[in-house]
Structure 1
Amino acid sequence: MAEEDAASKRRRLGQEVPSGGGVGEDGGDPDLIGRLPDEVLGSIITLLPTTDGARTQILSRRWRPLWRAAPLNLEADFGSLTLLESERVASQLCKLLSAHEAPVRRFSLKCNGRYGLSQPIAPLLQSHRLQDIQEFELYVRGDLPPSLLSLSPAALRVLHICSRPESPLWTTSTLSFPSLRELTLVDVDVSESALHGVLSRCPVLETLLLDNIRARRVRINSLTLRSVGVSDCGYPWEARLEELMIVDAPLLERLIPRVPSHHLVIRVIHAPRLRTLGYLHDDIPRLQLGTMHFEKMVLVRPSDGMRSVKILGLLSAPNLDFVTGLLKCFPCVEKLHIVSYTQMIFKNDVKCYAPLECLDRHLKKVQIINYEEKRADVNFIKFFVLNARVLESMKFVVCRDKCGAKWIARQHKKLQVNGRASQRAKFDFEADCSRGPSSMVDMKHIHDLAMDPFDRSSCRCHGDALH
């Protein structure tokens, strides 16, 4: 009766009662999710892991066909299973693939090659149902399943491989990924020629992450690539990536040398749209950006600078000589992100530096991770407070349990915020003991072109800021 009254009232107001929706079973709030079209509900189910998606069938009769028609988001973890358990799970997954009506959108597979899991996994990877897969993630220890090398679906858009191999992933390869837009290789042993061959057959690739791969040199020519993340293994006794050369990448927007990259030579010959760069640090032995050549991040060849860079990340001690030298090379920086670490004491006399175009016209946001209440840190930050004329916000991430009002007031006084060059600038403090110099860019941020990869406020894993 209550449901009829509510429906009658909406009709009198000129509102329709959507099919599948209406007042809740208890006569209270309406079932807003139930009002959504089947296509939207199917998309929601697809984003859920397989087990959670299957559980939606118990919600109501309407949800049962939605699950059967929703593309699968398949996750399989064989990491801690015995061979017998793995065979049983693989058999169940094969049955699921055969019975499910819709295609597989995503498949995340974790396994441990030490137990000979290639045999039970092979039928899974060879299933014809995977030929329309769009996203494939593989996490494995030991040798990769041979059947993986034949997995090259034309619809694949995302490929992540994380491995600790006992043999190379590809020595030679003719694999082609005509629709691949996102590629991640972590801890992968791959020959240079095979990697170059695979990259050459990714005609629409947009984002690339090479993290601790065993190819010694990578040379990139790409008309579509927009984001590159790279690191070496950091251990001189292991085979590691020694040089990354970006010869021609006209659409490249961001280059992210992730920690560690202590032995990695980076050369960018042509990338006119490079907008986001970092974290740069003085352990990078050589860096070339167009006509600029750095050794240990010290400019060794005169240049007019790179004006395309708007977002700059630095892993640096509080050294004004070092940072102002880099800002001369990137005069149009609008956002500056610094992970600070102290190796020695710097005087940082704020009166010893000539005006900078970056501070006079462009710099709007500054983020400092690991701010400490030391004289070197205070003088370092005070330089920006007193000289950044268009500054809008400055955020401090502090290695403390909390930032009380009295402590924040003391920092305002030390940093002379009342005499700031930009009167509209705001100063925020965030307490976070978990953040250290290893606060590197997360893998997912390298592939997310919609966000500033260094911006903590756009990442869900950070805490609330204190003002």
Structure 2
Amino acid sequence: MIYIPPSNTDHDLHSSIKYLSGAKGWGPWGEGFRLLSAKRCKPGNNDRISELPDDILVTILHLLPLKEAARTSVLSSRWIYLWKNISSLDFDAESALVKIADDRKLSNEEGCKYVKWVNCVLQSHKASTVKEFRVCFDLGRKYKYAITQWLEFAFARNVERLELDFSPRTYRVGTVDYACFVFPNKFLKRPSQSSSINFRSLKELCFKCVTVSGEAIEFFLRKCPLLEKLVVQNASQISNLEVCGSSLALKHLKLKSCYDLKSVKVSAPNLASLSILDAEGLLLENVPALVKVSVTSIIDQYSVKNLLPTLSCCIFQLEILSLNLDDHGKKIFLPMFPQLPKLKKLVIKFWAKGEQSLMGLTSLIRAFPNLQEFVLKLRVWDHLRSNEEVKNSIKCPHEHLKVVKFCGYYGRSSDAELVGYILDNCMALEKLVIDPRYPFFFRRTPSDTELVEEQLKAQVPQHIEFVIL
């Protein structure tokens, strides 16, 4: 934390910080900048922020978005080069991605602008090390030469956190394997003594929509002794993967939408969280620190039965469990879960049909006696509401459940029935959150909010915080 003693010139310091924070009306070309520039020209004016050492100013710039940090170069001759020494390079271009989502024809134009921007920053960058290097744009094989150069830049500067996110915001014609950037094999070969490529500083690695092989992933696990987080999403060409090693520092592993993946073997003593598409083909060994598991593929009552033996080596140590369930519109019937005394949070994504009852899900809540938070993310195949009377007949007190979040509440009688069960049985409940907006593409109308209030507000006791998003 930086402490600057107060003085009569604090107004100048606050003005400068307001500029740096990007407050409304401030910026290199805004009214705030012109006023600040005029004030700094007055005789005897004390510019406190410019009295700080360069390394502290660079630390401040590190907190700004990359484009905002670059704009500070117009402040004075001293500031021209300061931003070029920041160690975090996050090339975020959300506004351009929104444009492309609205008009796919802009993809090539915006892609060229993005590549030019990244190249320009890297050419002027002066820091000897890079803590974070993040590229997030819809780029494919067309830009493989530029992307390969970016990787050389990052690896040569001992990058600690590397993220390549080439996920399209809209549907892209062609298969994933054809369209995606292919991670270059040259980085996987043994480097020469003169090579500047270095993986030993890497702590976090994220590949999204990057064609990468299982051999490449295992290479990084071997060559990166400090690697703690690994994310691979929408990747093809991975069929079998081994994440094994008694000396692995890996704490977080996420394998999402890798549809060619057939088998995964995990033996990692420091692994704390695991997110995987399917439990089928998963073999867990030596995971004493594993407390969070998420299975993202849609599973039914039969595949849940297969899940339990897969998690047998860690199931009694789990604290967070996420499942994606679908019983194909039938009455929910789940196998008996063993009591998990350490489980604190349960997240269920459920696909329902029509007025299908959700009361079958309560068997999961009852299986976890010390559960403190329950999140339901509901998707309904056909949005139908009936005037069926709500019946709350199950009585099973929960003594520790404090927070419940119901995403996708539509006002069906079965929705209200589940909320009624929660209110009747959760004696320690402190907060109830209802989110009718889920999933994100379902647009909420004012009538949806009114329906939630009409159905539930009178039922919720005053001591419970009731939130409608």
Normalised by the shorter chain, which TM-score bucket? 0.5 to 0.7
Residue of 221, 228, 233 corresponding to 2:274: 228
**Structure 2 counterpart of 1:410:** 454
Correspondence list, 1:157-168, <5 A? 157-163=203-209, 165=211, 168=213
Residue of 71, 74, 79 corresponding to 1:55: 71
Residue of 225, 230, 234 corresponding to 1:183: 230
**Structure 2 counterpart of 1:219:** 265
Q: 1:249-276 CA distances to partner (integer Å, 9 max, x unpaired)? A: 2222321223556789642133354211
Q: 1:224-272 CA distances to partner (integer Å, 9 max, x unpaired)? A: 112222225xxxxxxxx84333333222232122355678964213335
Maintained 8 Å contact 1:74/1:104: no
**Structure 1 counterpart of 2:104:** none
Alignment partners' CA distance in 1, 2:289 and 2:203: 19
Letter in 2 for 1:299: P
For residue 226 of structure 2, give the secondary structure of its aligned residue in structure 1: coil
Matched, 1:144 2:186: no
Cα distance change, pair 86–381 in 1 and its aligned pair in 2 (3 A): closer
Letter in 2 for 1:364: K
Letter in 1 for 2:76: S
**Structure 1 counterpart of 2:24:** none
**Structure 2 counterpart of 1:208:** 253
**Structure 1 counterpart of 2:341:** 307
Alignment partners' CA distance in 2, 1:203 and 1:210: 17
Q: 1:413-464 CA distances to partner (integer Å, 9 max, x unpaired)? A: 6x633xx5xx62132222xxxxxxxxxxxxxxxxxxxxxxxxxxxxxxxxxx
Maintained 8 Å contact 1:282/1:297: no
Q: Please state how far the C-alpha of 1:379 moved relative to its aligned partner.
A: 2.1
Alignment partners' CA distance in 2, 1:401 and 1:87: 40
Q: Please state how far the C-alpha of 1:347 moved relative to its aligned partner.
A: 7.7
Maintained 8 Å contact 1:227/1:253: yes
Matched, 1:298 2:324: no
Maintained 8 Å contact 1:72/1:102: no
Maintained 8 Å contact 2:155/2:199: no
For residue 336 of structure 1, give the secondary structure of its aligned residue in structure 2: strand
**Structure 2 counterpart of 1:103:** 129
Q: Please state how far the C-alpha of 1:325 moved relative to its aligned partner.
A: 1.1
Maintained 8 Å contact 2:205/2:230: yes
Correspondence list, 1:55-454, <5 A? 55-73=71-89, 75=91, 80=108, 92=120, 95-97=123-125, 100-109=126-135, 112=139, 114-115=141-142, 117-127=143-153, 130-139=156-165, 141-149=180-188, 153-163=199-209, 165=211, 168=213, 170=215, 173-175=218-220, 176-191=223-238, 195-196=241-242, 200=245, 203-213=248-258, 214-231=260-277, 242-258=280-296, 266=307, 267-271=310-314, 272-282=316-326, 298-299=334-335, 303=338, 305-316=339-350, 317=352, 319-342=357-380, 349-351=391-393, 353-356=394-397, 359=398, 361-399=399-437, 400-402=444-446, 407=451, 410-412=454-456, 416-417=459-460, 420=461, 424-430=463-469
Cα distance change, pair 16–402 in 1 and its aligned pair in 2 (3 A): same
Maintained 8 Å contact 2:252/2:271: yes
Q: Please state how far the C-alpha of 1:394 moved relative to its aligned partner.
A: 0.9
Identity %: 19
For residue 196 of structure 1, give the secondary structure of its aligned residue in structure 2: strand
Q: Please state how far the C-alpha of 1:184 moved relative to its aligned partner.
A: 0.7
Letter in 2 for 1:196: E
Cα distance change, pair 257–60 in 1 and its aligned pair in 2 (3 A): farther
For residue 156 of structure 1, give the secondary structure of its aligned residue in structure 2: coil
Cα distance change, pair 335–23 in 1 and its aligned pair in 2 (3 A): closer
Cα distance change, pair 85–66 in 1 and its aligned pair in 2 (3 A): closer
Cα distance change, pair 16–327 in 1 and its aligned pair in 2 (3 A): same
Alignment partners' CA distance in 1, 2:150 and 2:414: 58
Letter in 2 for 1:426: E
For residue 170 of structure 1, give the secondary structure of its aligned residue in structure 2: helix
Maintained 8 Å contact 2:276/2:294: yes
Alignment partners' CA distance in 2, 1:190 and 1:152: 25
Alignment partners' CA distance in 2, 1:158 and 1:71: 15
* Structure 2 stretches lacking a partner, 5+ long: 17-35, 94-106, 167-179, 190-196, 438-443
For residue 348 of structure 2, give the secondary structure of its aligned residue in structure 1: strand
TM-score (norm 1): 0.67
Alignment partners' CA distance in 2, 1:219 and 1:403: 49
Alignment partners' CA distance in 1, 2:152 and 2:317: 41
Q: 1:310-335 CA distances to partner (integer Å, 9 max, x unpaired)? A: 11112234635412211221121111
Letter in 2 for 1:391: L
Give me the CA root mean square deviation: 4.4
Letter in 1 for 2:455: Q
TM-score (norm 2): 0.66
Cα distance change, pair 93–429 in 1 and its aligned pair in 2 (3 A): closer
For residue 104 of structure 1, give the secondary structure of its aligned residue in structure 2: coil
Maintained 8 Å contact 2:188/2:216: no
For residue 227 of structure 2, give the secondary structure of its aligned residue in structure 1: coil
Residue of 42, 46, 51 corresponding to 2:62: 46
Alignment partners' CA distance in 2, 1:367 and 1:111: 33
For residue 284 of structure 2, give the secondary structure of its aligned residue in structure 1: strand
* Structure 1 stretches lacking a partner, 5+ long: 1-9, 233-240, 285-295, 431-467
Letter in 2 for 1:425: I
